[in-house]
Amino acid sequence: MSLGPDGRPGRQHQIALSQRAHERIGGRRTDDAWLAEVWADPATRVLLLGGTKLAPTRERRWVPATQAPAGTRILLGEQDGVVHFALQLGQDAAADDWVPLRALLMELDPAEADLLVHAVALAEWQRVHQFCPRCGASLEPTAAGHELTCTGCGRQHFPRTDPAVIMLVTDGERALLGRNPAWPEGRFSTLAGFVEPGESLEDAVRREVLEEVGVEIGAVRYFGNQPWPFPASLMIGFVAEATSYAIDVDPDEIAEARWFTREQLRAEAEAGTLVLPGGISISRSLIEHWYGGPLPGQW
């Protein structure tokens, strides 16, 4: 259940990358006859991957399956009655103008973004999992790219997703935003961090905020979530209620943190002295939901 600005149940938020736009048809991943049949169908579309890089235009990214070169096939699923695959060609196959997914996110329509996030997440997982951690033998893709099977001991390996919390810290009238040391002056976002083993999501929120900016947190309320394949995260959003207000940043994590009123957010965003995350990020959704509407400017 999503929450309104007052912390009470409200309408479902429209969070980028979290709206299912294709059916994954997981039951077909081991149906070799069906996979061969749809690959021979001229209507089937294939996304070309050079490692985790993509062509800059949709026309070059997607080809009919009947015209696709050799590569490792990944079944993405069905969208608007059309079956979609990704095809891993290898890092060396990426042309000079091919780009990482992050460079394309702001211009993608939600339907294509849904497919690309799925494809790149699996491509990255396959890239970094080439050998079995049990016996050291090589791994080969199975189940249409959604599993890796050890060629030595036969152990099956499945994609991993790292849960991360991302939170809008507020005292009701103000929101707390931080700036990463690698970012330029004026660029701010919500706080975030990875969940540690044996830790609940709410405790991760409280720990990360305390470690990064020295602020203590009381109530933690779920907001929504978003896949974030950079390289393999699920961003789980929360609104966190501050119970202390003095800021003491960890300089290794945060260069600067500030409390903003709604009026300050609007004025500084309009002036360009405050630059907020792009609309594709759940961070933007958290900030604008708290603010009560759209804000100008973005990374």
Q: How far apart are CA 218 and CA 241, in angstroms?
A: 5
Q: Does pLDDT of 1 surpass 70?
A: no
Q: Does pLDDT of 14 surpass 80?
A: no
Q: How far apart are CA 298 and CA 281, in angstroms?
A: 10
The 10s digit of each residue's pLDDT in 195-215 is: 999 999 999 999 999 999 999
Could you write out the DSSP letters of every residue in 128-153? Answer: H--B-TTT--BEEEEGGGTEEEETTT
The pLDDT value recorded for residue 12 is 52
* Residue type (1 letter), 246: A
What is 26-128's CATH topology? Nucleoside Triphosphate Pyrophosphohydrolase (3.90.79)
Q: Does pLDDT of 119 surpass 90?
A: yes
- Res. 13 pLDDT band, cuts 50 70 90: low
Element containing residue 170 per DSSP (H, E): strand 162-170
30 phi-psi bin (left φ>0, alpha ψ -120 to 50, beta other)? alpha
The 10s digit of each residue's pLDDT in 123-144 is: 999 999 999 999 999 999 999 9
Helices and strands, number each (H, E), in the chain: 6, 15
Same fold for the pair 26-128 and 162-291: yes
Q: Which of 10-19, 61-70, 90-99, 228-237 has the lowest mean pLDDT?
A: 10-19
Q: Find the DSSP H helices in 143-231.
A: 201-213
How do the domains of the chain map onto residue ranges?
26-128, 162-291
pTM of the entire structure? 0.87
The pLDDT value recorded for residue 3 is 46
| Percent of the residues in the chain that have a pLDDT greater than 70, as a whole number | 96
Selected from 2.60.40.1120, 3.20.20.150, 3.40.50.720, 3.90.79.10, the CATH number assigned to the domain covering 162-291 reads 3.90.79.10
The 10s digit of each residue's pLDDT in 176-202 is: 999 999 999 999 999 999 999 999 999
Task: For residue 23, give both structure tokens.
Answer: 């059916």
Sign of torsion, CA 79 80 83 87?
negative
The pLDDT value recorded for residue 76 is 98
